[in-house]
Amino acid sequence: MPYSLKGRNVLVTAGSRGLGAVICERFAAEGANVAINYYSNADAARELAGRLSKEYGVTCHVLQSDTLVAEENEKLVNTAAELLGSLDILIANAGWTRFTRPGDIYDMSHDEWNKCWNANVMSHLQLMQTAKPILSKNPDGGVYIMTSSIAASATGGSSMAYSVTKAAGLHLMKHFAFSMGPGIRVNAVLPGLLLTEWGQKFGETAINAMKDRAALRHETFLDDCADAYINLAKNTSMTGQQITVDAGLTLGHV
Ligand SMILES: NC(=O)c1ccc[n+]([C@@H]2O[C@H](COP(=O)([O-])OP(=O)(O)OC[C@H]3O[C@@H](n4cnc5c(N)ncnc54)[C@H](OP(=O)(O)O)[C@@H]3O)[C@@H](O)[C@H]2O)c1
């Protein structure tokens, strides 16, 4: 069954910059209305919303919120649904980490581990608990797609806590998918190295080494990664799946 994205109402967390901004643009290009969540940079969010409304003739709203705060996740979903009139698709793209020394179990405080857990696991529970009745109202079905990471299926990435909590997030995704069918399709995208502000923090040496290790010898292009969200949103026969878009970085390394 084709699931057209035209006229759908979409919320993208961490949608104002980085991967989220490219995802917002791809949904707008499909004719979807977009609620763009940001955290600290209101100007970037407003600029993106203005450009997408003008270029694609869709409705865009900007919503400030912190993915680490439970009440804010609840409010974000309710406000997005109110402003857009309904909610069909939730792209839970926000994540949190701190770059630590690889393999060093002492190089992150317990508070920071808890922050990783809150951002990479609990935020999904909070978003879904609020969104479930709203997404379920859609007679064609609702969609929830989380941004995971190749660090969820391997032991690399920015920190051990990030890798562990992204892996836990994936398991939560599978529980969501199994318990919420047929009303809501739930899937995850696992990007490899993205050269966003976040990805640049790996530093030039590590970035070049990752490009060299990847079968395709380059980083994960943002457009290619954003494509996966569009394809998953349209595909009415996939749920509970983890789609890796990593230019072959993890091939041979897991
Ligand atoms: N970059 C990579 O190599 C890579 C690889 C695999 C997976 N990922 C995952 O991809 C997702 C997006 O990463 P990215 O590379 O696009 O990162 P990014 O460039 O750092 O993302 C920036 C976006 O995140 C928002 N943001 C920051 N803190 C937030 C918070 N507490 N609550 C809500 N929004 C917040 C920013 O809003 P403001 O600008 O307003 O603060 C901005 O919209 C994350 O889940 C990450 O784990 C990234």
pLDDT at residue 253, rounded to an integer: 57
3-state secondary structure 123-156: HHHHHHHHHHHHHCCCCCCEEEEEECCHHHCCCC
User: Domain limits of the chain?
Assistant: 9-245
Tokens of 74: 């609840």
Question: Strands 60-64, 89-92: parallel, antiparallel or unpaired by DSSP?
Answer: unpaired
**How many of the other CB atoms lie within 10 Å of CB of 155?**
13
pLDDT digits (tens, 9 = 90+) for 108-125: 999 999 999 999 999 999
Superfamily of chain region 9-245:
NAD(P)-binding Rossmann-like Domain (3.40.50.720)
What confidence score (pLDDT) does residue 156 get?
85
Nearest to 46 by CA among 68, 66, 64, 28: 64
Ligand 1 center to residue 212 CA distance, Å?
Answer: 24
The residue whose CB lies within 8 Å of the most ligand 1 atoms, and thus the one to mutate among 19, 71, 195, 245, is 19
Please give the distance, rounded to the nearest whole angstrom, from the Cα atom of residue 84 to the centre of ligand 1. Answer: 23
User: Distance, CA 196 to ligand 1 centroid (Å)?
Assistant: 8
Amino acid letter, residue 13: T
Ligand 1 pocket check for 194: Cβ under 6 Å: yes
156 touches ligand 1 (CB under 6 Å): no
Cα–Cα distance measured from residue 218 to residue 118, given in angstroms and rounded to the nearest whole number: 31
Average pLDDT (23-27) is 98
For strands 9-12 and 89-92, give the pairing: parallel
247 vs 249: CA distance, rounded Å: 6
Q: Percent of the chain at pLDDT above 90?
A: 94
pLDDT at 252 over 80: no
78 lines ligand 1 (CB under 6 A): no
Radius of gyration of the chain, Cα coordinates, nearest whole angstrom: 17
Any ligand 1 atom below 6 A from CB of 196:
yes
**Global pTM?**
0.97
